[in-house]
A and B are shown apart, each in its own frame.
Chain A
Amino acid sequence: MLFYAVFVILPVLFTGALALSSGVRPGLSDMTFAGADNFASLFSDGSSFLFPVLTNTLLYAVGTTVLTTVGGLVAALCLARLPGQGLWRTLYFLPVVTNLVATGNAWKHLYQPDGPLNALLNTLGMDSVGFLQNPATALPSVMIVQSWASLGSAVLILSAGLTTVPRDCLEAAELDGAGPLTILIRITIPLLRPALLFVSITQLLAGLQSFALITVMTENGGPGDTTNVAALEMYRRAFTYGDWGTASAAAFVLLLITLTLALAQLRLFEREGKDT
């Protein structure tokens, strides 16, 4: 029994100690107490941390959440009316199990100035777009890929949620002469709320923390800092410049934002529980 307890407690304590040591104590041996200096330098004038880095982080998280949730809902609603749901869901789920380097580079190729998407645009009589080269379109272009990559999980969860919507409700509403749109807004979406909340909150938290796809697609947040986000900034400060102090401070700020939103999520869920 002791053996099992030790087997569980040790690694968990290990992880716990690590979590605590990151924000406050940057190094293990040759560290000195710096107080709030690291935080001060993050938010000082001329530091890019607040703008554009944190702004990008929030835009990225909110944008991908909206795209994934809305896209997932539309896809799940359509799938529910079609035969062969399993096959469709498989297609939508493929990006979830494929590595980001492969999907990121596949999209980077699609986005090339002379690439497939621009060829398509030109055939339709439109001008080429410098998707990843233009500072104005770079961040949205990566956001689309991130949403595309996580759409499959959203579809899976929302489809599962849809099966719990009682058929009688829908048929009763139809008999009462309600149109499809009314049914959707008045009945389906309210009943789907738990699933929708779950999808949007997990996407939001993941969006706040993600940076792997960005490093794959834009070479470290370029052009300029236009696609730089907080987690990437933390990674670069720590492992490219060896600045453990401000890197940990950046991680700490990001953690605070994430925790605040996670708590807001709990509140929402609790209220949800009381309503029903």
Chain B
Amino acid sequence: MTHHRRAPLLPWLITTIGALVMTLPFTDMFLTSLKDPGDYAHLPYRFLPSAFAFANYRDAADELDLATLARTSILTALTVTVSVLCTSSLAGYALAKLRFPGRALLFRFVLATMMLPPFLLLIPHFLILAHWPLAGGNDLYGNGGAGLTTGITALVLPFTVSAFGIFLMRQFITTIPDEILEAARLDGAGELTLWWRIVLPQTTPALITLALLTFTIAWNEYIWPLLISTANPCLMTLPVGMQLLQGHLDPQRTTPLLMAALVISALPVLALFLLLQRHYVRGITEIVEL
């Protein structure tokens, strides 16, 4: 570059301060998770722990029963991810490559559902699950029992289909040349075989992006699992458990243990994000280009 640029002092300063503000809560969370009770009670507040109490992590895991919470979280997030991948790519395939009446209208309808505010669906989703016919003690008309609100299905069911996922997969599947599909059809392959043998392998990068975004959102979801687990505490996920179980800890030790538990609850998606950022970025850009 021939054009000489001034040393950008102000941008450096602002960005560095900004980065400090962005990471301070995480740093403080991590440092606090390593303090023993006396260390934590020290006044005035000290950012750095005087010794590293790594035992906090073990104690937090024991006292909050993190293993059970983590199991529910992992099971829920994985089930949601797998089902969103299946429904999105199947529906995306249908919308991109199959000719049927009303296809354009249907696609617009899917896009429209993306605009639905999530809070609006809370009440109907809950009522539908509670009045699911012939489940959880309900009669044929959906009355009398608890419906589907007491099982792990309650955590998963509302999230099995994603309008954004359908949109994303449709965009990618449209780019697969029709000739490949036609050739396979001539060889006698059915639509499901085409989907499995051709569509899925051709769209692997998009599937990875969708899987990461879905897993992250499902793992971090708070309001819905909170709602479900107030009826049935066995269905607590990690974030819900963190929030609800705070009061069960010995107050003197609460904060460092809680911070340790929060670090544990945040680590899986943070690790995924740091390892596979470019896939995340692609997903976000797709949303913007909508």
Contacts and interface: CB of A to CB of B under 8 A. Distances in A.
Is A bound to B? yes
A77 B11 contact: yes
Interface string B252-280: 00010011001101100110011001001
A130 to B, nearest CB: 15
A175 B285 CA distance: 34
Interface stretch (B17-25, B50-58, B177-185, B203-211): B17-25
A136 interface: no
B15 A88 contact: yes
B258 A251 contact: no
B45 A114 contact: yes
B19 A21 contact: no
B280 A97 contact: yes
Contacts, number: 234
B262 A94 contact: no
Contacts of A185: none
Contacts of A107: 25
Residue with the greatest number of chain A CB neighbours at <10 A, chosen from B28, B90, B219, B258? B28
Interface in B61-100: 87, 90-91, 93-95, 98, 100
Contacts of B186: none
Contacts of A70: none
Contacts of A71: 18
Interface of B: 3, 5, 8, 10-12, 14-15, 18-19, 21-26, 28-29, 32, 43-45, 47, 87, 90-91, 93-95, 98, 100, 106, 109-110, 113, 115-128, 131, 141-143, 160-161, 163, 166, 191, 216, 219-220, 222-223, 226-227, 230, 238-240, 242-243, 255, 258-259, 262-263, 265-266, 269-270, 273-274, 277, 280-281, 284-285, 288
Interface of A: 1, 3-5, 7-9, 11-12, 15-16, 18-19, 21-23, 26-29, 71, 74-75, 77-79, 81-82, 88, 90-95, 97-103, 105-107, 109-110, 114-116, 118-119, 122-123, 148, 151-153, 156-157, 160, 171, 198, 205, 209, 211-212, 215-216, 231, 234-235, 238-239, 244, 247-248, 251, 254-255, 258, 262
